[in-house]
Amino acid sequence: MYKVLLVDDERLIVKGLSSVVPWEEMKCRVVGAAYDGRQGLALIRQLQPDIVLTDIRMPNMDGLTMLAALRSEYPRMQTSVLTAYRDFDYARQALNVGVCRYLLKPSQMDELEEAIRTMVARLDALPPDAAPAEDTAAGNFIVQAALAYMREHCGSQHLSLSEVADHVYVSQWHLSKLLNRETAQSFFDLLGSMRIDKAKRLLYDPARRIHEVAEEVGFSDVAHFSKSFKKIVGCTPGEYRNGVRVSEDSPKEQI
């Protein structure tokens, strides 16, 4: 029997799905239900279901990112969406990150059963000892979401791999693996480069003192900032700022 988890913030929907769908006839049993995205993710990690039937417009959840996370971290798991959110582009993106079916509420029973039977058939087709191929589209989606979050928050001294992993709904270990695979860099190397890139932009403003720039890009120690800056850029922040000024003041060649 395949384990099924239901995730929907409408409790009546969850109750109806649990009781009306002929789960046993389709070799399934409902092992749990969650009523928001965070609770759903916690239960998924705890119960390791084979099938997840979920809404995508719920509190505490970025639906697409969570769907991509599930597909990337649990490649055997089959997911289908049951939602009232009627947006073609959103549905296309959901299917692109590995969702089996995108069903609209209110859904007909035959549509729902077809989706479940399709997920069961896919599970049946997986050899028990063979590792399923990783979904590169889902992994890339997660990496891009993680990088965007890192760029937005790289000025925080306390930004951690754990925080970013929580934002994109995967484990720290899995995010670290994805970042290395997609960028050939570690989380800390990527974060350091983002901070230095931001520092380079800030150094164009002569009114900003170097210790202020260091703080704005997440360094509590100016010496550490200068050392990191020189390692990546090849010169100290002061030398970089002076080089910018010299470049801006030098006469431009006529073409």
Give the tens place of pLDDT for each residue, 64-79: 888 899 889 999 999 9
pLDDT score, position 131: 64
Q: Which CATH number fits domain 2-124: 2.40.10.410, 3.40.50.2300, 3.20.20.70, 3.90.550.10?
A: 3.40.50.2300
Q: Is the peptide bond before 106 cis (omega within 30 degrees of 0)?
A: yes
Asked whether the beta carbons of 137 and 155 are under 8 A apart, the reply is no
pLDDT score, position 251: 46
- What pTM was computed for the model? 0.83
Report domain extents, the chain.
2-124, 136-249
pLDDT score, position 28: 96
CB-based burial of residue 219 (10 Å sphere; 0-12 exposed, 13-18 middle, 19+ buried)?
A: buried
Q: Read off the pLDDT of residues 151-200 as tens digits, 9 standing for 90 and up.
A: 999 999 899 999 999 999 999 999 999 999 999 999 999 999 999 999 99
Determine phi and psi for 6, rounding to 5 degrees: -105, 135
pLDDT score, position 254: 38
Asked whether the beta carbons of 84 and 107 are under 8 A apart, the reply is no
Same fold, 2-124 and 136-249: no
pLDDT score, position 252: 45
> Residue 25 carries which DSSP code?
G
CATH architecture of the domain with residue range 136-249: Orthogonal Bundle (1.10)
Distance CA 8, CA 22 (A): 19
Q: Provide the CB-side half-sphere exposure for 151 (13 A, CA).
A: 7
**The two three-digit tokens of residue 166, written as one number:** 């929580």
Q: Read off the pLDDT of residues 115-157 as tens digits, 9 standing for 90 and up.
A: 999 999 999 998 876 667 677 889 999 999 999 999 999 999 8
Which of 181, 225, 173 has its CA nearest to residue 199? 225
pLDDT band (50, 70, 90) for residue 214: very high
Q: Is the pLDDT reported for residue 249 higher than 70?
A: no
Determine phi and psi for 254, rounding to 5 degrees: -80, 135
